[in-house]
């Protein structure tokens, strides 16, 4: 197999295989009826807008998982800013393979570049502050690894990958346990060694979390005035994360409160798909 992207995780490769199965099914009846079996072709993937590129390696893997002999020559580095009309990659090989894998490859490339583009806008908006832009678990089902890779390539960082790698005590956990103190006690009693973060809805919750020695506090839908007060209260004793309806218009004001992290679900659930196309090149 020619240079299959071994750096891509099993989760991403499994997502690509599932996408190919979903699209191809019993076969590409249009391509197979029009294009001779051994016909060859070349095409170019083109950006149809300005933005940040992410996912050419994932698109390449989509071609390679269908046909290992397809050649994909990247023209741009991952995470680079590209302009409308710019050639992103040259693709060549069996014509049937190029046409059959085209939509799957472009779907991944467009989704990932859209997420990376939006992420970069948020990262640029908080430049010069201490705030780190984080994603959330609000990802497309089955595409979490893909979506979170796109966030990293846009300059953001990942929060939890799933429910298994960090304890995040949210409002329903707190209410069920009968209070923040009891929820934290139960979490610590599990003795799994994972970092604990708690959701704070009020400044009183922040004080309680600090008194409990919690490592990280999520400031849920607080005003910037409340966030600034929480930063003063924490005085470096815990990392503070702002969350809830963060927009490009407000993220700078949030960052200037001094919080350590800003988590934004919109990075993955509301990013507009980046417009890319695949055009046949006559030779």
Residue 170 belongs to some domain of the structure: yes
CATH number of the domain where residue 184 is located: 3.20.20.70
Indicate if 82 and 193 belong to the same structural domain.
Answer: no
Active-site hit among 67, 220, 256, 275: 220
Query: 199 an active-site residue?
Result: yes
CATH number of the domain where residue 73 is located: 3.90.1170.20
Which runs of consecutive H residues, i.e. helices, occur in 195-282? 203-211, 224-234, 251-255, 266-269
Indicate if 264 and 129 belong to the same structural domain.
Answer: yes
Tokens linked to 110 = 């467009």
| pLDDT tens, position by position, 187-214 | 999 999 999 999 999 999 999 999 999 9
| pLDDT tens, position by position, 22-43 | 999 999 999 999 999 999 999 9
Of 71, 153, 73, 65, the C-alpha closest to 104 is 65
Q: Considering its fold, how many domains does the chain have in total? A: 2
Indicate if 74 and 94 belong to the same structural domain.
Answer: yes
Residue 44 belongs to some domain of the structure: yes
Query: 215 an active-site residue?
Result: no
* pLDDT of 2 strictly over 50: no
Indicate if 129 and 99 belong to the same structural domain.
Answer: no
Active-site hit among 40, 71, 170, 252: 170
Query: 102 an active-site residue?
Result: no
The per-residue pLDDT for 282 is 80
Region at 86 (left for phi over 0; alpha for psi -120 to 50; beta for the rest): beta
* pLDDT of 124 strictly over 80: yes
The per-residue pLDDT for 208 is 98
This prediction has a pTM of 0.95
Active-site hit among 17, 42, 44, 103: 103
The pair phi, psi for residue 87, each rounded to 5°, is -80, 125
* pLDDT of 125 strictly over 80: yes
Vertex 262 angle, CA 125 and 270, to 5°? 75
The per-residue pLDDT for 5 is 63
The per-residue pLDDT for 217 is 98
Query: 138 an active-site residue?
Result: yes
Residue 63: count of CB within 10 angstroms of its CB: 27
% of the chain at pLDDT higher than 90: 96
Mean pLDDT over each residue of the chain, to the nearest integer: 96
Active-site hit among 199, 205, 241, 260: 199
Indicate if 262 and 155 belong to the same structural domain.
Answer: yes
| pLDDT tens, position by position, 61-92 | 999 999 999 999 999 999 999 999 999 999 99
| pLDDT tens, position by position, 219-267 | 999 999 999 999 999 999 999 999 998 999 999 999 999 999 999 999 9
The per-residue pLDDT for 17 is 98
Query: 71 an active-site residue?
Result: no
Indicate if 262 and 277 belong to the same structural domain.
Answer: no
% of the chain at pLDDT higher than 70: 98
Active-site hit among 138, 207, 237, 252: 138
Domain that holds residue 251: 124-269
């Amino acid at each position: 197999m020619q240079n299959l992207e071994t750096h891509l995780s099993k989760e991403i490769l499994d997502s690509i295989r599932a996408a190919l199965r979903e699209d191809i099914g019993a076969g590409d009846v249009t391509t197979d009826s029009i294009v001779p079996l051994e016909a060859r072709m070349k095409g170019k993937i083109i950006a149809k807008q300005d933005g940040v590129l992410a996912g050419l390696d994932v698109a390449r893997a989509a071609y390679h998982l269908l046909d290992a002999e397809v050649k994909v020559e990247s023209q741009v580095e991952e995470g680079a800013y590209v302009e409308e009309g710019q050639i992103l990659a040259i693709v060549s090989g069996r014509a049937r393979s190029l046409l059959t894998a085209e939509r799957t490859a472009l779907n991944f490339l467009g989704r990932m570049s859209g997420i990376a583009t939006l992420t970069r806008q948020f990262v640029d908006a908080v430049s010069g502050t201490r705030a780190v832009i984080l994603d959330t678990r609000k990802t497309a089902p089955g595409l979490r690894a893909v979506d979170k890779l796109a966030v990293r390539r846009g300059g953001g960082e990942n929060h939890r990958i799933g429910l298994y790698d960090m304890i995040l005590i949210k409002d329903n956990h707190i209410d069920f346990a009968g209070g923040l103190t009891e929820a934290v006690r139960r979490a610590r009693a599990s003795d799994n060694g994972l970092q604990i973060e708690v959701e704070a809805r009020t400044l009183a919750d922040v004080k309680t979390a600090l008194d409990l020695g919690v490592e990280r506090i999520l400031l849920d839908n607080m005003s910037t005035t409340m966030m600034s007060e929480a930063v003063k209260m924490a005085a470096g004793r815990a990392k503070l994360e702002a969350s809830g309806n963060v927009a490009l218009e407000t993220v700078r004001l949030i960052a200037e409160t001094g919080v350590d992290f800003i988590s934004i679900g919109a990075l993955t659930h509301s990013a507009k798909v980046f417009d890319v196309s695949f055009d046949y090149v006559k030779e």
